[in-house]
């Protein structure tokens, strides 16, 4: 029976050196690719995206990654380098043009046909030249107007949800695909104050109607409890009268 293949391990977490390298590549106009190591409710592990901004490490989640249309902040421990093998392989340095010229000069005494054949390798050696052109294009992209940069750095949309279930009000918030806060309780008085500020008549009426309906139920219960308390106190007075 052949041995089982070991499952491929996920990429290691970003180190301080990795973060410094990503910051350097961003300043050069690149958008480095990373992979999400830890799954969440909205982002599964293995999701890949491009780093668009690196903030202050004191914020904890300071590496902002573009996932589709959203820009989500992560901590270094939640991310790995986006290459297939974890760390990106170092690209071989392109051959230098002077070396090609020396090789061509060494074969100058050869016949014309041989000189033509010797010149061909020199052209192939110079082929990696597009790499500097890519870097120049990246620098031009980085030199866009400040308005375009501010739009790229805009935070994902914030969604706040107010919910009424079984007599209780709760509120929760999310920014893009990341949950900011779980559902927490809200006092009815705070909901009433919010309803008074809503300009849309339909929404304000729905909130006010729900609040007043719940208030009437509580008032009826309070009245019933007061009547029960008054009856109990009257019974106690009867006991005191009999003792006299």
**Tens-of-pLDDT digits for all 244 residues of the chain?**
444 444 345 789 999 999 999 999 999 999 999 999 988 777 888 899 999 999 888 888 899 999 988 898 999 999 998 764 445 434 444 445 455 555 555 555 444 444 444 444 444 555 555 556 666 666 666 665 555 555 567 888 889 899 999 889 999 999 888 888 888 999 999 999 998 999 899 999 999 999 999 889 889 998 999 999 999 999 888 888 866 5
pLDDT value of position 181: 85
CA dist., res. 52 & res. 68, Å (int): 12
Pair of tokens at residue 158: 């914030």
Nearest residue to 104 (alpha-carbon basis) of 124, 89, 119? 119
pLDDT value of position 6: 42
CA dist., res. 194 & res. 210, Å (int): 13
pLDDT value of position 182: 84
CA dist., res. 69 & res. 55, Å (int): 20
pLDDT value of position 144: 59
CA dist., res. 183 & res. 205, Å (int): 24
Give the number of other CB atoms < 10 A from CB of residue 73.
19
Domains in the chain and their CATH numbers?
Answer: 16-81 (2.30.30), 99-152 (no CATH), 158-243 (no CATH)
pLDDT value of position 4: 42
For tokens 């409710």, the residue is 41
pTM of the model: 0.33
Instruction: Decide: residue 169, CB within 10 A, 0-12 exposed, 13-18 middle, 19+ buried.
Output: buried
């Amino acid at each position: 029976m052949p041995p089982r293949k070991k499952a491929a391990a996920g990429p290691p977490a970003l180190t301080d050196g990795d973060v410094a390298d990503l910051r350097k590549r961003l300043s050069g106009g690149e958008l480095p690719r990373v992979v999400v190591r830890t799954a969440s409710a909205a982002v599964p592990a293995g999701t890949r995206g491009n780093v668009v901004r690196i903030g202050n490490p004191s914020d904890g989640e300071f590496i902002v990654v573009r996932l589709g249309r959203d820009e989500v902040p992560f901590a270094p421990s939640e991310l790995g380098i986006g290459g297939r093998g974890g760390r990106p392989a170092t690209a071989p340095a392109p051959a230098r043009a002077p070396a090609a010229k020396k090789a061509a000069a060494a074969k100058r005494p050869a016949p014309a046909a041989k000189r033509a054949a010797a010149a061909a390798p020199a052209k192939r050696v110079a082929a990696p030249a597009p790499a500097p052109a890519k870097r120049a294009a990246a620098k031009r992209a980085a030199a866009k107007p400040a308005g375009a940069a501010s739009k790229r750095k805009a935070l994902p949309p914030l969604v706040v949800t107010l919910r009424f279930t079984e007599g209780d009000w709760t509120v929760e918030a999310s920014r893009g695909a990341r949950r900011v806060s779980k559902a927490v309780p809200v006092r009815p008085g705070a909901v009433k104050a919010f309803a008074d500020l809503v300009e849309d008549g339909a929404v304000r009426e729905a909130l006010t109607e729900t609040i007043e309906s719940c208030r009437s139920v509580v008032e009826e219960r309070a009245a019933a409890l007061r009547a029960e308390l008054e009856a109990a106190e009257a019974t106690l007075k009867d006991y005191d009268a009999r003792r006299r």
